[in-house]
Amino acid sequence: MRRLILLVALILAACQPQVAAKVAPSSSPAGPPGDLVYVQDQNAARMLEMDWSGKVRGSVSAQGFSSPSPDGSRFLRATDQLTVEDWRGHTLGQLDADLTSYGLSTWADDGRHICGITFPLNSGPDTGTGSLWIAASGEKPRIVGPVGKPGSDPAAVACSVKNDRAVVAEGLTAHWPPGATSHLITGDVEVVNLTTGAIEYEHQYPLGNLGGQLETGTRGDWVLVAASPDARYLAESGVFNGETTIREIPTGKELVTVPGRVCGFSWDGSRVAVSVDIGGTTESLVITWTDQHIIWHGSGVAQSAVARPNSSDLLIGRSSVAGDWSDLVVVREDGTSSVVVMNGRVWSP
């Protein structure tokens, strides 16, 4: 049975956690330097702490380093215990969690709580026996309620204390044509009330033929779902049709369809990072999805997006279609941008 912590926030989309970056840290300031993101130092076993201008403000050990909080002021470290540390690497407290039974998790929008999935002993993440939990350092985790369906791997992809709900998405790996290209897809989404554990909204996506050796028939209209940090919106990106539906939750109302594939929302959910095929080339865009106004555009495929708290700024991880280059670019509220890391990906909250 698979028993490990896979602490990536995200949306189950291609927001990959590790990066290599050729930068050197400056001396740490006396107080918190503001919002931080973390990149892996390729020359040492440490995580470099970078502000949103691209300046490295310090570093912490990479041993057991896991998901940072939305503002980067704290992060999880998974060793023989699961602890919360501040940006200087000082322990703030433990999460009273059994590392052998906890799965994919994400920080809440208050920067203090964490939502995750737990499974009973001797059962795997695809058994349909998961439960949503919420915890903070120094507090006993609280089981919110059962989540997940047999055959898929549930993950908490958004957690909002402000709006009292979490989004759980169940991921699958499918192949099309059968035995060929693999795709990460979403099979089911559940929106859970954090206080009562009630399922406020649920949607199951058509799967069809997943490309297994013994399967027949046509493939489903596969989608990959991203959730806004405040758990108010879902972006359902079609794997094959080149379109994304933005849906309000927990009402389930379809709000708009935008071209391309969305990989993340801004902090307030008003903007999305999207990849669009235009005239045979792929571009990365940041748009306001309500009117599809383009805030910023650049070359390459938008692979990931990190939202800056209380801001419209986004940190976009993009790459060429051929995969021979990648970078991290900060897109600010006014549409100006700066490349802050070449050939690297960021640890997302």
- Name the amino acid, one letter, at 220: G
Which of 6-10, 219-223, 298-302 has the lowest average pLDDT? 6-10
Q: Greater confidence, 235 or 18?
A: 235
HEC string of 233-275 equals EEEEEECCCCEEEEEECCCCCEEEEEECEEEEECCCCCEEEEE
Instruction: Using the predicted structure, report yes or no on whether residue 1 has a pLDDT greater than 50.
Output: no
pLDDT of residue 188: 96
List, in order, residues 6 or more apart from 69 with CB less than 8 Å away. Answer: 75, 107, 111, 112, 349
CA distances from 98 to 3, 74, 78, 120 (A): 10, 20, 11, 11
Mean pLDDT (whole number) for 269-298? 96
Q: What is the DSSP letter of 28?
A: P
Instruction: Using the predicted structure, report yes or no on whether residue 315 has a pLDDT greater than 70.
Output: yes
CA distances from 119 to 2, 20, 43, 76, 245 (A): 11, 33, 37, 20, 31
Question: Cα torsion at 318, 287, 349, 158 (round to 10°)?
Answer: -130
Instruction: Using the predicted structure, report yes or no on whether residue 22 has a pLDDT greater than 60.
Output: no
Instruction: Using the predicted structure, report yes or no on whether residue 26 has a pLDDT greater than 50.
Output: no
pLDDT in tens, 50-60: 999 999 999 99
- List beta partners, residue 41: 21
CA distances from 107 to 46, 229, 306 (A): 22, 9, 13
Q: How many CB atoms are located within 10 Å of the residue 16 CB?
A: 15
Q: Is 33 left (phi over 0), alpha (psi -120 to 50) or beta?
A: alpha
State the pLDDT confidence band at 187, using cuts at 50, 70 and 90.
very high
226 three-class SS: strand
pLDDT of residue 296: 98
Paired tokens of 344: 């690297």
Count of helix runs (H) and strand runs (E) in the chain: 0, 27
State the pLDDT confidence band at 195, using cuts at 50, 70 and 90.
very high
Nearest residue to 295 via CA among 344, 259, 240, 333: 333
Mean pLDDT of the chain: 86
CA distances from 178 to 134, 174, 183, 219 (A): 38, 8, 11, 9
CA distances from 18 to 6, 47, 73, 100, 345 (A): 12, 10, 18, 22, 6
pLDDT in tens, 236-279: 999 999 999 999 999 999 999 999 999 999 999 999 999 999 88
Distance CA 76, CA 83 (A): 6
pLDDT of residue 18: 34
215 three-class SS: coil
Q: Looking at the chain, how many residues does it have?
A: 349
pLDDT in tens, 101-148: 566 689 999 999 999 998 888 887 888 889 999 999 888 889 999 999
Mean pLDDT (whole number) for 321-336? 94
Query: What does the DSSP assignment read for 44-70?
Result: SSEEEEE-TTS-EEEEEE-TTEEEEPT
